[in-house]
């Protein structure tokens, strides 16, 4: 068994709309390959209060459904108190509920995920020029 290693990279994405779902699976897998680590854990973390990470299917219709669901459960401009400050309470609430990170098992060089589990960055208050995603790979 090799030496325990920690490897991290920051991925950066420009978003174009207020709500957007971006599939980042391939980029995360490239970081894992670059790390050379074969077994351990992969952390995917968004250091933003108005974005989130989900793990689920990605195709154009479900991407629209995610956004419809976000608008339904966290409607922008619905009288939230924080909107008095910068008009994005819906984005903070959705980020708080969905979460800013996900952790995956890494086994034999592969992130363990189901056929319909892609890694998705969710923009909740775009457009933004530089949304960061930190990918940290820990293991041997
Ligand atoms: Zn705010």
Digit-coded pLDDT (tens) for 13-47? 999 999 999 999 999 999 999 999 999 999 999 99
Q: How far is CA 46 from CA 20, 54, 93, 137, in A?
A: 15, 11, 15, 15
In the chain, the number of structural domains is 1
89 CA → ligand 1 middle, Å: 6
84 CA → ligand 1 middle, Å: 9
49 CA → ligand 1 middle, Å: 8
**Could you tell me the pTM of the whole model?**
0.96
88 CA → ligand 1 middle, Å: 5
125 CA → ligand 1 middle, Å: 9
Q: Can you give the CATH number for the domain in which 83 is found? A: 2.60.120.460
User: What pLDDT is stored for residue 87 in this prediction?
Assistant: 97
115 CA → ligand 1 middle, Å: 35
Structural domain that includes position 69: 5-139
User: What pLDDT is stored for residue 1 in this prediction?
Assistant: 65
92 CA → ligand 1 middle, Å: 7
28 CA → ligand 1 middle, Å: 28
User: What pLDDT is stored for residue 2 in this prediction?
Assistant: 84
By CB neighbour count within 10 A (0-12 exposed, 13-18 middle, 19+ buried), where does 2 fall?
A: exposed
Give the residues of the chain that fall short of pLDDT 70.
1
Element (H or E) spanning 41, and its range? strand 40-45
């Amino acid at each position: 068994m090799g030496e325990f290693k920690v490897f991290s990279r920051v991925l950066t994405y420009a978003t174009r709309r207020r709500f957007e779902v971006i599939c980042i699976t391939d980029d995360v897998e490239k970081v894992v390959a670059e790390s050379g680590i074969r077994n351990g854990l992969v952390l995917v973390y968004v250091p933003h209060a108005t974005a989130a990470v989900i793990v689920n299917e990605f195709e154009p219709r479900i991407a629209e459904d995610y956004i419809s669901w976000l608008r339904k459960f966290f409607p922008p401009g619905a009288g939230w108190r924080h909107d008095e400050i910068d008009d994005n309470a819906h984005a903070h609430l959705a980020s708080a509920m969905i979460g800013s990170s996900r952790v995956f098992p890494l086994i034999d060089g592969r992130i363990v995920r189901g056929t319909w589990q892609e890694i998705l960055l969710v923009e909740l208050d775009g457009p933004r020029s530089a949304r960061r995603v930190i990918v940290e790979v820990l293991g041997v």
